[in-house]
């Protein structure tokens, strides 16, 4: 995917960047910095100025159904029919697949521990359960072994409402998807998680892409402290680093 001078009035300043196959890119920055806006533009959901191309083809040239075969998008919030059972919601993400998906469905449900929830109406799910269902759906939509066109996952704060074991499952699936040739672009607020897992970091502030590079290149104490308006320090212990925030 390539982005050329992509902008949204009052929300996102002109941004130019490129995304490589197999990358895991994390968007970090304060609330209101433009992360969700950028992801929605890249998903083809939010109109924007400039040009975004996926597989050397402008997003505007894709039909909705064609775009759904190439990328999946997890927004922060989405409503569904409360009485719809989980298995039926997941089937909505398989509408364009023409191969047997049972093995992949079973594998993903196992990762996110959905086996006992498949008959449950989505309106009866907890916040964490609903997030796991939604994550399973977007992975199903573009999983390479059942969708050869599936290349891109756009995840807006995917760790919301997940406990530590579920975040570990998410990390494992993201890594596996990238190893299969997919690309993941995700937003979040855990600096330590992004430092540890991301191949590249996009740091945003006030709608502007402040920095783009490897975690060690982008996550500098002075830069992070300025962007987040806090005293952010990198603490080194043996071979590991972690980040701590001290309010000014």
Pick out the residues of the known binding site for ATP.
29-36
Q: What letter would DSSP give residue 166?
A: H
* Rounded-to-integer distance, Cα 151 and Cα 178, Å: 9
- Reduced 3-state DSSP string for 37-90: HHHHHHCCCCCCEEEEEECCEEHHHCCHHHHHHHEEEECCCCCCCCCCEHHHHH
Q: What letter would DSSP give residue 14?
A: E
Would you say 191 and 219 are in contact if contact means Cβ atoms under 8 Å apart?
yes
HSE-up of residue 209 (Cα within 13 Å, Cβ side): 20
Q: Can you tell me which residue has the tokens 């570990």? A: 168
Helix (H) or strand (E) segment spanning residue 17: strand 12-18
- Pairing type for strands 49-54 and 57-58 reads antiparallel
Q: Could you list the residues known to form a binding site, using ranges.
A: 29-36
* Rounded-to-integer distance, Cα 67 and Cα 195, Å: 31
Q: Which is it for the CA torsion 149, 151, 155, 161, positive or negative?
A: positive
């Amino acid at each position: 995917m390539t982005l050329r001078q992509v902008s949204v009035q009052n929300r996102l300043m002109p941004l130019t960047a490129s995304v490589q196959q197999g990358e895991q890119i994390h968007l970090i920055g304060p609330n209101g910095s433009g992360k969700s806006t950028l992801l929605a533009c890249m998903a083809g959901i939010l109109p924007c100025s400039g040009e975004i191309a996926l597989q050397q083809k402008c997003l505007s040239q894709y039909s909705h159904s064609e775009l759904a075969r190439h990328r999946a998008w997890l927004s922060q919030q989405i409503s569904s029919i409360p009485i719809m059972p989980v298995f039926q919601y997941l089937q909505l993400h398989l509408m364009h697949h023409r191969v047997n998906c049972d093995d992949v469905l079973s594998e993903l449900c196992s990762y996110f521990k959905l086996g006992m929830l498949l008959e449950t109406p989505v309106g009866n799910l907890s916040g964490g359960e609903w997030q796991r269902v939604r994550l399973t759906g977007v992975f199903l939509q573009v999983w390479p072994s059942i969708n050869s066109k599936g290349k891109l996952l756009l995840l807006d704060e995917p760790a919301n409402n997940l406990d530590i074991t579920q975040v570990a499952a998410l990390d494992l699936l993201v890594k596996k998807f990238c190893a299969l040739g997919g690309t993941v672009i995700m937003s979040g607020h855990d600096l330590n998680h992004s430092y540890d897992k991301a191949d590249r970091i996009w740091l945003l502030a006030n709608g502007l892409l402040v920095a783009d590079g490897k975690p060690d290149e982008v996550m500098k104490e002075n830069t992070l402290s300025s962007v987040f308006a806090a005293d952010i320090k990198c603490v080194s212990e043996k071979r590991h680093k972690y980040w701590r925030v001290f309010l000014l």
